[in-house]
Every structure is written in C-alpha cells, then in structure tokens.
A and B are shown apart, each in its own frame.
Chain A
Amino acid sequence: MNQKFTLEFYLNGRSTKAEILPTMTLLDFLREELGIKSPKYGCGWGSCGACTVLVDGNPILSCLTFAISVDGKHVTTLEGLGNSQNLHLIQKAFLESFASQCGFCTPAIILVTKALLDKKPQPTEQDIIDSLDGNLCRCTGYLSIISAIKKSSELLLKQGEKNGRSW
C-alpha cells in the first residue's frame, strides 16, 4: 500500500496539492494532513453526518470518501466560510439562535445550511427539515437549528438586497 497519488484540488477556494496514500479518507486527510479540524469523526458509517463537507457545493460525508475522489474538485469546510473575527452570516444566525451546544455537529450543519440556501434561498420549513435528515444533533432538539436556518435565509436575503445582488 505504498503507492502514492498526487492529489490536486481546491480547498476553500485555494489550489492545494499533496501526495497521499490512495486509501486515505478525505476526513483523515483534512484533519491529519492539512489541520482542518471542523469536520468530525462521529460514527464512521454514514449515520451521524458530523464529517460533512461540501464538494462542488454538495454535502458529502468525508469519512466515507477517499481523498483521491476529490481530485480536481472544490472542497468547502467551515474554515472556508468565516472565522472568529469575521463570521459568515449563517454562523451569526446560529450564534444568535443558540443553535449550538456542544458544537460537535455544528460545522456539518452549517455547511448543509450553506448548500441548502445556495440552492433554495427561501426554503420552506419542510425543506429545512428534509435537508437535515442526515445530520444528528443530540443537544439542541433541532428547533433552534431550524430557527437559525430561517434566520440565515433572512440575513442572506437582506445582504443580497443591500448589495443589489444575490449572495
């Protein structure tokens, strides 16, 4: 298993190149090799959604994806949205709605929110519930998360109006 692959992809908008073992998962690669800690290892078999990242704008589970599969693609993690000095509006909405307690599932849910609102800027409550069907949160009971996603939609739409463009 010493065969190494050259992986070239875009991580949070930046071109990234690395030599990797072919069976390394995207989650291990992001966390161990690149120090991207927002995707978490939860269940390891697709049940909890804590390892969710966006690939070309769509949520996927990084613990079930080999890193070589993202060759040539755009990968977005929470680190690509905002940081503690400059929060993304979705992060602000989650903060203001108290939509996070232990925080283990939160990065994944914020990314799912980003993917949902990119596709549907004004989702219905059912759209929101459907979008969360792969993400477990054992703290909040989901109601505050649903409120946060609604608030995110409002904030992003307002920002779009203010800027005279869609966000």
Chain B
Amino acid sequence: MNIFIPKSVQETLEILNKYCSECIILGGGTLTVPMISELNPRAVILLDKIPLSYIKQIESKKIEIGSTTKISSIMGHDNLGALNIAAKSISGWAIRNMATVGGNILAGFPWGDLATLLTVLDAELLVESVNGERVLDLGKLYGDEEKRPKLQSNELIKSVSFLSPDSNTYFIKVERFKGTKRGILTIATRLIIDKEGYITAARIAFGSAFYHPLRDKIVEEFLKGKMLSADIIEKALEKISVSRLFLKDSLASEQYRSKLAKIYLRRILESYMIQISRRVT
C-alpha cells in the first residue's frame, strides 16, 4: 500500500489517474479509516494538504464550498441558514471537526445529511481529472440508476456550488433516540412561492432512507401551481412515491420511515402555510 499526501490538486489528479479504482481518497477519514485494513487498497491519498477548504459567495444567491471543508466550518457561517442546521445535526463535535463536505456527499446510507439538503438547493459538483474539469448535477448523480452520470475513479470532487438556503428552505432530521445524531429520516424542502401564494417550483428530498438522497418529483410536480391548503397537503402526502424505495435497518423499518415521511412532510408544508399567512396579514 502506498500512501500519498499531495500538496496540490494537480498532484492528486496524477496519483488518482495512476491508481484509479485501486485507490482510496481520505478526506476526513471518519468513514474511510476503518475500511482501509479491510480493503487493503494499492494507494491511499490524504487530502489534508490540498487547498480545497473554503466557503465563498460566488453570485448574489449562490455559494461555493470546497470539498475538503470541514463540517464544523459550515457551522461558523451565519448566512448558510438550513445548511447550518444540517451541519449541526451531523454526529458529534469531533466528527464535525474531521468530516468533509465532499465525504458527506459520497457517504451513503444512512449518512449524508448535507447531501439531502444540497439536492433541493440545485447543487452542482465541480469534478476534475487529468483530462479536465466537468460539472455534475447532484440531483442527477442521485437520480435513476440507468440515466445517472457516474463519478469516474480518476475524478476528484473539487467543490459544490448551490443556491443560498433562504427562509423557504427547510431541513429536518428525525432521530430514533434524541441526541444520538443518527438519522432514520431526513427531509429537505425548498418551495418557491409567488406573491399570491402559489407554488412556482418545488424541491423535496428524503435522506437517511436509501443509498443516496431521493428527490420526490411526483410530489414536486403535484405542488407546482398549487396554493397550499389542508386539502392540498393531504393530497401531496398521498403522492409520496419514493417511500417504496426506503430501506430498513436496526433502527427503523421501511414502513416506519414511510410513516415518518408523511408526518414530517406535513409539518413542513404546514410551516409554509403559516409563513404565507403571515406574509398576507
């Protein structure tokens, strides 16, 4: 096993290109370090020293975060709204000091709380290999198995850019036991509502329930053009379609997760109703 601690992105890409799928990238190490001895890869790359740890505003309503940015760094930023809540919901203080944004995006079931939220913020990943850069739509990366773009083994995630979370963005993490920070379901939503109270666009995603976050495009499509009411909320909940994919683990069955999806999505949609009524009055 060869260990590399590159100091630049270019150096990292060259190593990645040489070892490809026989290589493990170590961001924070919280998920990968325990796997190293089992997997015994030919190469391990530590990303500690590459300069991809930053948070910056790139447009008036868009933010970019470098892939090696620690989760705890997000918590120190005031303008990140729901992303702050999602970051705080991740594990303990020490883990947040180690885990990276890039790692969280690839963390898989039942982790990846940031990823669920980023999905509703129309996030895009900037990835690079020795052949050049490309942009991947995070929603598509988590989309249908056949259509989804694949992250190649010689590619490195450099950053994620996304719309700034505003007051129309919600994130909820449901835990089996309070304080354990182990989610059995996460829900992220973003509704764009016009002055009359009609929904012009909707993004709804469920996490900690499948191998990756799941956007429910059927509910999103149903809500589009509607004004929220008790009746519409009821109908929207009936249309939740991705719950058929929910997984079970030692903490929750797929049926329990489906039940929670309805309960918590109802609460979020009711919060939007309250928000709209306050705006009108």
Contact = CB atoms under 8 A, between A and B. Distances in A.
B32 to A, nearest CB: 9
Q: For this complex, into which size category does the number of interface residues on chain A fall? A: 20 to 34
A46 B30 contact: yes
A128 to B, nearest CB: 12
B2 interface: yes
A66 B29 contact: yes
A23 to B, nearest CB: 6
B94 A59 contact: yes
A52 B46 CA distance: 20
Interface in B1-47: 1-3, 5, 26, 29-30, 33-34, 36-37, 44, 46
25 contacts: A3-B1, A3-B3, A5-B3, A22-B44, A23-B3, A23-B36, A23-B44, A45-B34, A46-B91, A52-B94, A59-B93, A61-B95, A64-B29, A65-B33, A66-B26, A66-B33, A68-B3, A68-B46, A69-B48, A133-B91, A133-B92, A133-B93, A133-B181, A134-B91, A134-B95
Interface of A: prevailing SS: mixed
Contacts of A5: 3
B179 interface: yes
Nearest to A63: B33
Contacts of A22: 1, 3, 44
Contacts of A12: none
Contacts of A44: 34
Interface of B: prevailing SS: mixed
Most buried by B among A25, A44, A134: A134
A3 to B, nearest CB: 7
B92 A3 contact: no
B108 to A, nearest CB: 14
B255 interface: no
Interface of A: 1, 3, 5, 22-23, 25, 44-46, 49, 52, 58-61, 63-66, 68-69, 112, 115, 130-131, 133-135
Given A5-B3, A23-B44, A64 B33 contact: yes
Given A3-B1, A23-B44, A64-B29, 14 more contacts: A3-B3, A5-B3, A23-B1, A49-B92, A59-B97, A61-B30, A61-B98, A65-B98, A66-B26, A68-B46, A112-B93, A112-B94, A130-B93, A134-B92
Interface of B: 1-3, 5, 26, 29-30, 33-34, 36-37, 44, 46, 48, 72, 88, 91-95, 97-98, 179, 181
Contacts of B88: 130
B98 A64 contact: yes
A23 B179 contact: no
A53 to B, nearest CB: 9
A45 B29 CA distance: 10
A4 to B, nearest CB: 10
Contacts of A52: 94
A44 B46 CA distance: 20
A23 B93 CA distance: 24
A61 B33 CA distance: 11
A69 B36 contact: no
Contact of B1 (A1, A59, A65, A131): A1
Contacts of A115: 93
Contacts of B36: 23
A130 B75 CA distance: 13
Given A3-B3, A23-B37, A133-B181, A65 B29 contact: yes
Contacts of B2: 3
Contacts of A134: 91-95
Most buried by A among B26, B33, B88, B179: B33
